[in-house]
Structure 1
Amino acid sequence: MIIRYARTLLAVWLLLFGASHTAAFADSAKPADQIRIGLQKSSTLIAILRANGELEKALAPLGVKVSWHEFSSGLPLLESLGVGNLDFGADVADTVPIFAQAAGSKLVYVAEESASPAAQAILVAGNSPIASLADLKGKTVAVTKGAGSHYLLLAALGKASLTFKDITPAYLAPADGRAAFVTDKVAAWVAWDPFLTSAQQQSGARVLTDGSGGLASYKRYYLASETFTDRRDDVLNVVYAKLRDTGAWVKAHPKEAAKLLADLWGIDAATVETANGHRSYGVGAVTPDKLSEQQKIADAFFSEGLIPRKLDTAAVRIWTPKAP
């Protein structure tokens, strides 16, 4: 079932890419007067820039406008980026570009947030009899397909000498995963912040394990389409600088950032502040050595039949920011 689902997903992605290739190629000849940005609810830094209008102000001198497009998780976001419906994706977990690369999408790594291993975890109910990773054997576990939490689950199972065949994965978006978890339809849920901390605070959920101790670094990446990268290096430079500055602002002003995000997310400020404490928000340039864990993730996914072929994760394009 897992292999069939993965192959179906990749086949649909490739079909969409082929159907849109002609239109995307024709559009690539035109000057870009806008940047189409895809984001998730958990895309903290870009969500702040969307709310405060600072990115639009910074891009105005270049004559570039911003359009915003929200997605439930990273996989559909990168699918849209891969078929030319977006110019920039902000931000996705480290696992998501693996699926994009396996599907043949031509995407460019623009920036990364440094490791935040405590910002995702496997949760069980506070009164659950599950006390160890080995106890997940035979259980149904909710996880979002392709998310960073997907690899955390795989790595955690491996630590307990289990595989995906030893559990029943329920592939659910964050909102559906939480609903299944709080109604006891699943035995565990693999979540990331702010959903992780919110579930702990509101339902008394217990962390079975997070990514600490070398289990899963959990980086988040910002990517762009190749056509946009080739046309608007100047725009990417502005976006990169604003993301870096916003990340520094969040860490320097935790309460102010939490209040702003609480209004955006509909989560109380104290919970947001705790969740933000789990994230590094350290935005930096991507280099080949910083992508080292990507190969480990890709190899694990291939071994489990989640992607149909082995990947060389170093065979990707990386954008380099220019000094101001």
Structure 2
Amino acid sequence: MISRRLILPAAILLVLSAACAGEKPAAPTAAAGASKVRLGFSAWPGWFPWQVAEEQGLFAKNGIDVELKYFDSYTDSLNALATGNIDANSQTLNDTLASAAGGAKETVVLVNDNSTGNDQIIARDGIKSLADLKGGTVAAEQGTVDHYLLLLALRKAGLTEADVTFQPLPTDAAAAAFVAGRVDAVGVFAPFTTTALKRPGSTTIASSADFPGAIPDHLVVSRDMIGRDAKSVQALVTTWFDTLAWIGQNRQKAMEIMARRAGVSVAEYQTYDKGTTIFTLEQNRAAFADDLPARAEQISDFLLSSKLVDTAPSLEGLLEPRFVQAVQP
């Protein structure tokens, strides 16, 4: 997704003389006896830096043994964390709240980014606004972030989900159905926006840029992991900021790694620039102190009123700022 417009100033240079000579430096190994952490992520530009961290040995540099698991289906990653099949996952705040409403014990420990345009409602030729969508069919992944975006956009336009025919499909299948002409519009996130916009005449009629701060993306860990292995949680958070510093110093190489993981060209990946704002350490600390508590309450109320959840999620233990506070700038 990304040019790092708000990336951390590089504090640590990891370019070794071998790399300057075109050779790949040997990756460091995790400390003997380090516990293995199962970390999930899926197709979103704000989470692809985890691929960089793995390929550049940055987890091991911080003494943590990570089993990085990529999920083709974002929903599967949510379910994996909620059921204890992974220890940590990158996911949105609203999806974390939805899991909490279902009884999952999860905690946000890091803000990866805010979606600032890379979540989109894309419509076929002839539909130029949300009002034009009335009576049409819209596909999105039910109960997840772009379903949420659809409801926000419809509400802003004076409509409800009852004014459209909603077709629940996994995000990749939703994009494919739209391109094939089987639905009138689709709610998708990058890189699936690239797929959807290949339909001739298609256009974006709403995006997360219209709702600043509505879709924050996070590293979320199980409550159990914090209790049994807070040291590894700290290592994950520290590795994230080391990774941003490495990307800032090795942009071209990083772009190649992330574009490859996304399944798009580097040029296509660069188009995701404005749509994702990566949070610096300072922005993380400010978000935990000011914005996130209020944002969590706001999203919780919306999920309940829109019937995306049956009961209000508990916000107790949802946000834990101590790990970003402990990172050395």
TM-score of the pair, normalised by structure 2:
0.79
SS at 1:280 equivalent: strand
Is 1:144 equivalent to 2:148 in the alignment? no
Q: Cα distance 1:112–1:146, how it changes in 2: closer, same or farther (>3 A)?
A: farther
- The 3 A distance-change label for structure 1 pair 230 and 313 is closer
Aligned position for 2:277: 280
Aligned residue identity for 1:97: T
User: How far apart, CA to CA, are the structure 2 residues paired with 1:255 and 1:140?
Assistant: 40
- Residue 132 of structure 1, CA deviation: 1.1
Give per-residue Cα distances to partners, 1:146-205, cap 9 Å, x unaligned: 332121111100011111111122222221011101001111111111222454368663
What is residue 92 of structure 1 aligned with on the other side? Answer: 91
The residue number in structure 2 matching 1:218 is 215
Equivalent residue, structure 1, for 2:58: 54
1:94 Cα deviation (Å)?
A: 2.4
Change (3 A) 1:219 1:204: farther
Alignment partners' CA distance in 2, 1:250 and 1:144: 31
Residue aligning to 1:103: 102
1:1-324 pair list within 5 angstroms: 33-42=35-44, 43-59=47-63, 64-89=64-89, 91-125=90-124, 128-200=125-197, 205-214=202-211, 217-250=214-247, 254-283=251-280, 284-285=284-285, 287=288, 289-291=290-292, 292-313=294-315, 316-321=318-323, 322-324=326-328
Read off the aligned partner of 1:229 and give its amino acid letter.
Answer: I
Q: Deviations over 1:112-146 (max 9, x none)?
A: 13423212111123xx1111101111111111223
Task: Report the Cα offset of residue 308 of structure 1.
Answer: 0.5
Q: TM-score, normalized by length of structure 1?
A: 0.80
Q: What is the alpha-carbon distance in structure 1 between the residues aligned to residue 258 and residue 276 of structure 2?
A: 14
What's the secondary structure of 1:190's corresponding residue? Answer: strand
* Bigger RCO of structures 1 and 2 (CA < 8 A, at least 6 apart): 2
What percentage of aligned pairs have identical amino acids? Answer: 25
User: Secondary structure of 1:267's partner?
Assistant: coil
Decide whether the 8 Å contact of 2:128 with 2:203 is kept in 1: no
Q: Secondary structure at the match of 1:221?
A: strand
Structure 1 residue 79 displacement after superposition: 2.2
Distance in 2 between residues matched to 1:92 and 1:197, nearest whole Å: 21
SS of the aligned residue for 2:114 comes to: coil
Q: How far does residue 215 in structure 1 lie from its aligned partner after superposition?
A: 5.9
Aligned partners of 2:302 and 2:219: how far apart in 1? 22
CA distance in 1, matches of 2:34, 2:59: 16
How far did 1:269 drift?
A: 0.8
1:255 to 1:189, Cα distance in 2 relative to 1, 3 A = farther
Matched positions, count: 287
Q: 1:212 to 1:82 in 2, by over 3 A?
A: same
> How far apart, in 2, do the equivalents of 1:275 and 1:87 lie?
28
Query: How much has 1:256 moved relative to structure 2?
Result: 3.4
Query: Using the alignment, how far apart are the partners of 2:103 and 2:151 within structure 1?
Result: 23
Any idea what SS the aligned residue of 2:260 has?
helix
CA contact (8 A) 1:295 1:312 kept: no
Distance 2:99 2:76 in 1: 10
- The one-letter code of the counterpart of 1:113 is N
- Retained in 2: the 8 A contact 1:247–1:282? no
- Structure 2's unaligned 5+ residue stretches are 1-32
C-alpha contact 1:93 1:219 (8 A) present in aligned 2: yes
Displacement after TM superposition at 1:102 (Å)? 0.4
> Counterparts of 1:192 and 1:130 in 2: how far apart (Å)?
19
Q: Helix, strand or coil for the counterpart of 1:310?
A: coil
- Once residues 177 and 298 of structure 1 are traced to their aligned partners in structure 2, the CA distance between those partners, rounded to angstroms, is 26
Q: In structure 2, what residue type is equivalent to 1:147?
A: T
For residues 279 and 215 of structure 1, the distance between their equivalents in structure 2, rounded to whole angstroms, comes to 11
The amino acid across from 2:108 in the alignment is Y
Which segments of 5 or more consecutive residues in structure 1 lack a partner in the other structure? 1-30
